[in-house]
Amino acid sequence: MRWNLPADHLPEAWFNVAPHLPEPLQPPLHPATRQPVGPDDLAPLFPMALIGQEVSTDPWVDIPGEVLDVLRLWRPTPLVRAERLEQALGTPARIYYKDESVSPAGSHKPNTAVPQAFYNKQEGITRLATETGAGQWGSALSFASALYGLECKVYMVRASYDQKPYRRLLMEVWGGEVVPSPIDDPTHPGSLGAAISDAVRDAAGRDDSHYSLGSVLNHVLLHQTVIGLEAREQLTLAGEERPDIVIGSCGGGSNLGGIALPFVPDERVELLAVEPSSCPTLTAGHFDYDFGDVAGMTPLLPMYTLGHDFVPPSIHAGGLRYHGDSPIISSLVHSKRMQAVAYPQGKVFDAAVQFARTQGTVPAPETSHAIRAVIDTALAAKETGEEKVILFNYSGHGLLDLSAYDAYLRGQLDQF
């Protein structure tokens, strides 16, 4: 069963969680002075509208009409009840998911790529530079850039560039220019942190260009809150008062934040972050100031981190291979408003294939982390007999990740 909203029910403002956080957000610091960074420090990289959103404490931020017009290409996204999965598990829990895989780029990422491209264009910028790991973010920004007539340069982690040609091709169909990173060492497999350094260096050096980040920052999570706002309205249509638990996979934190943040003020709703055991930022990292990138070019961010020089193993969920975490998500975990759990890759793909064979769609490896936790939560509810209402973010499809499924089906997947 699916609940659609009419196109005119798209939220017209983003939900700002800042006033609702149990612990106030600490500011990013300049690495040299360790003083809070100001707008002027960020202006070479971001348009003023986004810098303003980054520090806003307004409870709601209006979505520009020109952004809504583009979001309506695929939003509102469906809310789906996973009845066939429930039946297969024999659980009394009711499992709902928000299907963000229906966007042109196949994930939630365009929710922020579109406003980022819009605000940059509004400020006269004609070119964006960014990094991408597995390619989800790079394809979203290439898509958004095509719609606003901007150039888009994507620094893609070299290992993914070589192994995932389809993601690169998708960016190129939308006119994006994709190069492998690190650009100065063709023998290095690359990392997200190193690709961020490449993209920041590019944007900082050109007047026509800005930098664009697909997760972590406050304005990115802000843009993603359309997911949770729509889900709340759709759950009401489905006859549910509220979810008992909201679950999302967590790399930088944007898909999780998108679905979970609107529920933060309602303390009856549990929130759960799911991360890979091989990159256990929230479950095994420490809460401290750290750089967002390998080269130490970004401001210091207050977050759970494994250290900015941490290089995670090359699991298939490339989008979750980040040493740090969104300051907002980190704050929620630090204050215990949100819980976190980590799963190894083998168990994640067990869940992914079970989902594909019951509900029919093939989830992204990143998304499958959330599905693993959903299944375990639903099985726990079976033990207790609780009619738990579970909401999770189906953040993307796995159609360009089928080589990972191939490895799984042939028993060649690293289990860690």
**Closer CB to a copy of itself, residue 6 or residue 124?**
6
**Residue nearer to a copy of itself on the CB measure, 24 or 165:** 165
Q: Are 305 and 329 in contact (CB under 8 A)?
A: no
Count interface residues toward a copy of itself (CB under 8 A): 41
Tell whether residue 32 is a contact of a copy of itself (CB under 8 A). Answer: no
The answer to whether 174 and 145 are in contact (CB under 8 A) is yes
92 by DSSP, 3-state: which?
A: coil
Instruction: Say how many C-beta atoms besides its own lie within 10 A of residue 240's C-beta.
Output: 17
Stretch that binds a copy of itself, among 31-39, 198-206, 284-292, 357-365 (CB under 8 A): 357-365
356 binds a copy of itself (CB under 8 A): yes
- What part of residues 321-350 is at the interface with a copy of itself (CB under 8 A)? none
Q: Residue 209: name the closest of 47, 38, 51, 30 by CA.
A: 47
Residue found under tokens 């982390």: 369
Q: What's the rounded Cα separation, in Å, for the pair 266 and 269?
A: 6
Residue 76: cis peptide before it, omega within 30 degrees of 0 = yes
Asked if residue 403 binds a copy of itself (CB under 8 A), the reply is: yes
**72 near a copy of itself (CB under 8 A):** yes
Q: Does 239 bind a copy of itself (CB under 8 A)?
A: no
Contact window for a copy of itself (CB under 8 A) among 2-10, 44-52, 313-321, 383-391: 2-10
Please name which of 11, 10, 3 lies closest in space to residue 236, comparing C-alpha atoms. 3
Of residues 88-127, those binding a copy of itself (CB under 8 A): 102, 104, 106
What whole-number distance in Å separates Cα of residue 65 and Cα of residue 75?
14
By CB under 8 A, tell whether 362 contacts a copy of itself. yes
Nearest to 180 by CA among 322, 194, 144: 194
Residues 6+ apart with CB under 8 A from 72: 7, 10
Smallest distance, a copy of itself to C-beta of residue 129, A:
20
Find all residues with CB under 8 Å of 116, minimum gap 6, and list them. 50, 128, 141, 144, 212, 223
Q: Indicate the residue among 214 and 327 with the shorter CB distance to a copy of itself.
A: 214
Q: Is 409 in the site for a copy of itself (CB under 8 A)?
A: yes
Is 291 an interacting residue with respect to a copy of itself (CB under 8 A)?
A: no
Tell me which stretch binds a copy of itself (CB under 8 A): 123-131, 219-227, 262-270, 396-404: 396-404
| Binding flag, residue 236, a copy of itself (CB under 8 A) | no
Q: In angstroms, what is the minimal distance from the CB of 318 to a copy of itself?
A: 17
Which of 200, 247, 238, 414 shows the shortest CA–CA distance to 316? 414
- Picking from 242, 47, 223, 237, the residue whose alpha carbon sits closest to that of residue 125 is 47
Is beta strand 151-157 parallel, antiparallel or unpaired with respect to 127-132?
parallel
Name the minimum Å distance from CB 26 to a copy of itself. 38
Angle at 329 between CA 140 and CA 85, to 5 degrees: 70
Residue among 307, 357, 384, 414 that touches a copy of itself (CB under 8 A): 357
Letters for 150-189 (x = contact with a copy of itself by CB under 8 A, - = none) are ---------------xx--xx-xxxx--------------
Residue ranges in contact with a copy of itself by CB under 8 A: 1-7, 72-74, 80, 84, 102, 104, 106, 143, 146-147, 165-166, 169-170, 172-175, 353, 356-362, 399-400, 402-403, 405-406, 409
